[in-house]
Chain A
Amino acid sequence: MLFNSLSFAIFLPLVFCIYWFSIKNSHKYQNIILLISSYLFYSFWDWRFLFLLAFSTLLDYFTGLKIFSSQGKWRKIWLWISVGTNLGFLGFFKYYNFFIESFSQVLTSVGLQANVSSLNLILPVGISFYTFHGLSYVFDIYYKRIYPTKNFVQYSLFVSFFPLLVAGPIERATHLLPQVKRLRVFKARQAVDGLRQFLWGLFKKVVIADSCAEYANVIFNNSGDYHGMTLFLGALLFTFQIYGDFSGYTDMALGTARLFGIELIKNFNYPYFSRNIAEFWRRWHISLSSWFRDYLYIPLGGSRVSTLKKIRNTFIIFLVSGFWHGANWTFIFWGGLNALFIVPDIIFKSKKPFTNVVAQGRSLPNIIEVFQLTSTFLITVCAWIFFRAESLNHAFTYISDMFSVRDLNPFKFPEIGKSIVSVMLIVPFIAVEWIGRENNYALETIGLKWSRLARWTFYGVIIFFIGMYMHVGGSEFIYFQF
């Protein structure tokens, strides 16, 4: 069930009404309703994988309790049981074929006959996300940051709460568990805010991302037919596609959670308004970046080590992060490339990181900021080529062709046709994101001081653009495959 589907348009109001109207003054029943709804939501993809989700939940719940109650080496043993089993499932479903095929290629390249067969595995939707939820929970117990919960329903809801189940954000027990432990009281302002964020997320996904996808797919899938500016356009459109797709999904997830009185962690913070790559990574898929920071980078020594080790640690987390995205060398290379972009910052020990919003308190950036924003954005566009390409060879050829001019007309674009408006909508989209860049999401405060009629008209116009330009039969969310 997709957030932008008719089935979800029926499912959400139904769960909302049952949740708020049928049961009052009991967080236990609220949790049970949300848990049943979450399992129902997940079963729309493939009910068979509910067992895997339930098993993973049970495993981490149980090992969490065991880690807490054990002493000495048993704490570590229980931790490794959890980590090993979780990563074992993830590895089997997500990486089995990759390893088998890579192994086979290596054998073939040294002249040996490879007799290995890959399996036709279906990747359970959201496995990377709920596995990481569970792992963060057991790590936090192991590092004595939290106490385990004894309430299985609460823990299950933490893992499988439907807005975040299939594509995050990757929640932390320290943030979400306290919320499911207490009664949620309906707050109209929070619900309205949730609806507003959902609307903006929907616009980003069905208008911006899906329209950009149409042309990005044409250009990437036939990249041999294009060159120069056309290939750059393809990369640019993919840059907006992936942002609109994933941050749009996140906005819809956060907005949906707010309708149930639950706040999820922020996952995007206007990453394309970053002044360097390090800042970009503090603003893109924040829940994953912070997960790797807390459970991999810091245990490796983090920043409190020599420059060389810091570089090593940076490469490790980016390579692992790339590999998390998918079983393909393109993702690993993409991760490594991003690490490489950060290395100069580490070597030259650049001054304090950018933690504030660009051009804070001002309408427009200054010249230096414009340069920083543009250069960071262009670097990001180039890096996304590796993320989108079918293979490393495809990516390198794409980049090489992008800088070549084979004939006198470098502006050979595919037929844009009727969706030209959707692509043109990127401009006002960026403007709205820029105006709202100091808020949790772009629409959060825009129009709040206007009259109700003006505000409603503004939202109505967004709905009109969605109805007029949403990509009918649009694609699934990119991050579902991860």
Chain B
Amino acid sequence: MKKFVVSFLLFSFYSVGLYGILLFTYSYLAPNKFGGNVFKYNTSFDYSKSRLREADTVKNVDLLIMGSSHAYRGYDVRAFKAKGMKAFNLGTSAQTLIQTNYLLDKYVDKLKPKMVIIDIYPIMLNTDGVESLLQLLAILKIDEKLKDMAFEANDLRAYNTLFYYSVLNKIGLSRNLMNDEPDDKNKYISGGYVENRSSARASKDGSEEGSEKSKQVELIFSLKQQEMLKGMINKLKARKIPYIIFQSPISKRMYQSFSNNKEIDVKLSAYGPYYNYNEVRFLDDSCFIDNNHLNYNGVKIYDKFVMDKINALR
């Protein structure tokens, strides 16, 4: 038995070491599509790297916008600039309130926003946020809070990616990673907005995604995310920064596939000023890229609504 235990422990140490070496070497050398459970950020149509790098260079904004892809596709910083507001959009793909909370901590004192918009895509209220976390691990300098977030996620992809980028940063190779490359359809606008002028009407309508979404889905606001939102709001209140929570437009079909929109509205409105555009009116397909992301036409309509609400709060 003693021999077995010793052998087992030795093998465990050896395999952990070997795992680390293979993970790093393979992930570094292998093409991205062979990445498996290591997220390798290369270039992306969501321009997260460009946005977060720009965030490091910006100071003192009037308006900070946070949230998922609905944020960086739904709030055009140029529209706010035209009204005399310097805005920065800190949305990242699949960002949940867990990552929003982290990014707020990281940037609030630097950006010193006079107002914050928290955009909520209700589907994200019950996701684990791993997708967004992996992006942050790959783009940002890994600090203790990011590490904690990876351990809290308790996901193999998060551990692998954390290890890979920690080593990469340590040996200084991360600087060689590519920047986001311009995409035909998605154009990065300084300030964090991603402009897309394609339309869901022009693409295949009644797509698989659409038909899938027509099934009834019950939205869940996880306790963890409720805590995060509460924590963020307390921080903003402590800094006397006004905030508004928005739910930006999605297609009528998708919105109506959620069985408990009212319940989510009640829960979110308990956190402060909250506006759900989908309860005001539905935009048609010409305003969307797909069934839940606004295109440039939709953004022009929606941002007027946002501006009105900001002015009302001022």
User: Which residues in A have some Cβ–Cβ distance to B below 8 Å?
Assistant: 6, 20, 186, 188, 191-192, 195, 222, 225, 417-422, 456-457, 459-461, 463-464, 467-470, 472
Q: How far is the CA of A6 from the CA of B155 in the complex (A)?
A: 11
Q: A20-B1, A418-B36 are in contact. Are A460 and B156 (CB under 8 A)?
A: no
Q: A456-B11, A459-B11 are in contact. Are A464 and B160 (CB under 8 A)?
A: no
Q: What is the predominant secondary structure among interface residues of chain B facing chain A?
A: helix
In residues 9-25 of chain B, which contact A (Cβ within 8 Å)? Answer: 11, 14-15, 18-19, 22-23
* B26 close to A (CB within 8 Å): yes
Q: Is the CB of B33 within 8 A of A467?
A: no
Contact of A469 among B4, B14, B36 (CB under 8 A): B36
Shortest Cβ-Cβ A-B pairs, 5 listed: A460-B18, A188-B4, A468-B36, A460-B15, A464-B22
12 other contacts beyond A418-B34, A460-B19, A464-B26, with CB at 8 A cut-off? A20-B1, A188-B4, A418-B32, A418-B33, A418-B36, A419-B36, A420-B33, A461-B18, A463-B15, A467-B156, A467-B160, A468-B23
Q: Is the CB of A472 within 8 A of B155?
A: yes
Q: How far is the CA of A457 from the CA of B18 in the complex (A)?
A: 8
Q: How far is the CB of B29 from chain A (nearest CB, A)?
A: 13
* B175 close to A (CB within 8 Å): no
Q: Is the CB of B34 within 8 A of A456?
A: no
* B222 close to A (CB within 8 Å): no
Q: How far is the CA of A39 from the CA of B60 in the complex (A)?
A: 61
Q: Is the CB of A460 within 8 A of B36?
A: no
A459 cross-chain contacts in B, Cβ below 8 A: 11, 15
Q: Is the CB of B1 within 8 A of A186?
A: yes
Q: Is the CB of B37 within 8 A of A467?
A: yes
Contact of B34 among A192, A195, A420 (CB under 8 A): A420
Closest Cβ neighbor of A461 among chain B residues: B22
Q: A20-B1, A188-B3 are in contact. Are A460 and B33 (CB under 8 A)?
A: no
* Number of chain B residues whose Cβ lies closer than 8 Å to a Cβ of chain A: 26
A461 cross-chain contacts in B, Cβ below 8 A: 18, 22
In residues 137-157 of chain B, which contact A (Cβ within 8 Å)? Answer: 154-157
A421, A468, A469: which has the most chain B beta carbons within 10 Å?
A468
Task: Write out, one digit per residue, whether chain B residues 174-216 have a CB within 8 A of any chain A CB (1) or not (0).
Answer: 0000000000000000000000000000000000100000000
B23 cross-chain contacts in A, Cβ below 8 A: 464, 467-468
A-B contact pairs, 10 of them (CB 8 A): A192-B7, A418-B36, A421-B34, A459-B11, A463-B15, A464-B22, A464-B26, A467-B23, A469-B36, A472-B156
Closest Cβ neighbor of B208 among chain A residues: A222
A222 cross-chain contacts in B, Cβ below 8 A: 208
* B77 close to A (CB within 8 Å): no
Contact of A192 among B4, B15, B22 (CB under 8 A): B4
